[in-house]
Amino acid sequence: MVQQWEDALREAGKIKGWELKDKGYGEFARFFAREVSMKLKVKHKCVTDYLVQRDDQVEALMKLLDIESSDVRFVGVHGMGGIGNTTLAKVVFNKLCDRFANCSFLADVQESSRQHGIERLQKQLLNNLGLGSVEIMDVDDGIMRIREMLVQKRVLIVLDDVGHWKQIQNLTGDASWFASGSRIIVTTRDQRVLEIKQQRVYTLEVEEMKPEEALRLFSMHAFEKYPPPNDYLRLLQKAVASSGGLPLALEVTGSLLRDKRRKDWVDTIKRLERVPHPDVQDKLMISYEALDPGTKQIFLDIACFFINYDRKYPTYMWEACDFDPKMGLKVLVHMSLVKIIEEKGWDGIKKKLWMHDQLRDLGRKIVADERFKDVMKCSSRLWMPEDALKVLREEEDKENIEMLRIHYDDSYGYTFNPKELSNGKQIESSRPYMLLSLDENA
Distance between CA atoms of residues 240 and 268, nearest Å: 12
Residue 348 phi, psi (nearest 5): 115, -170
Query: 33 and 98 share a domain?
Result: no
Query: 92 and 178 share a domain?
Result: yes
Structural domain boundaries enclosing 251: 211-289
Higher pLDDT among residues 15 and 342, named by residue: 342
**Structure pTM?**
0.69
- Residue 406, number of CB atoms within 10 A of its CB: 20
Residue 407 phi, psi (nearest 5): -85, 135
Band the pLDDT of 113: cuts 50, 70, 90: very high
Query: 176 and 253 share a domain?
Result: no
Query: 200 and 61 share a domain?
Result: yes
Which range of 88-97, 346-355, 395-404 scores highest in mean pLDDT? It is 88-97
Cβ-contact 111, 239 below 8 angstroms: no
User: Domains in the chain: how many in total?
Assistant: 4
Q: Which of 205, 226, 256 is the last residue of a domain?
A: 205
Q: Running DSSP on this structure, what letter comes out for residue 383?
A: -
Query: Does 428 score more than 50 pLDDT?
Result: no
Question: Could you tell me which residues are beta bridge partners of residue 436?
Answer: 404
Query: 121 and 143 share a domain?
Result: yes
The residue among 183, 210, 194 whose CA lies nearest residue 63 is 183
Query: 129 and 251 share a domain?
Result: no
Distance between CA atoms of residues 209 and 293, nearest Å: 34
Query: 172 and 261 share a domain?
Result: no
| 140 domain residue, yes or no | yes
| 161 domain residue, yes or no | yes
Task: State the DSSP string of 162-227.
Answer: E-SHHHHHHHH--GGGS-TT-EEEEEES-GGGG--TT--EEEEEPPPPPHHHHHHHHHHHHHSSSS
Work out the mean pLDDT of the chain and round it to a whole number.
Answer: 82
Q: Which of 180, 205, 230 is the last residue of a domain?
A: 205
Band the pLDDT of 439: cuts 50, 70, 90: very low
Query: 192 and 120 share a domain?
Result: yes
Query: 63 and 174 share a domain?
Result: yes
| 127 domain residue, yes or no | yes
Query: 146 and 221 share a domain?
Result: no
| 149 domain residue, yes or no | yes
Query: 63 and 199 share a domain?
Result: yes
| 84 domain residue, yes or no | yes
Query: 262 and 153 share a domain?
Result: no
Predicted confidence (pLDDT) per residue in 38-89, tens digit:
554 557 888 877 888 899 999 999 999 999 999 999 999 998 888 899 999 9
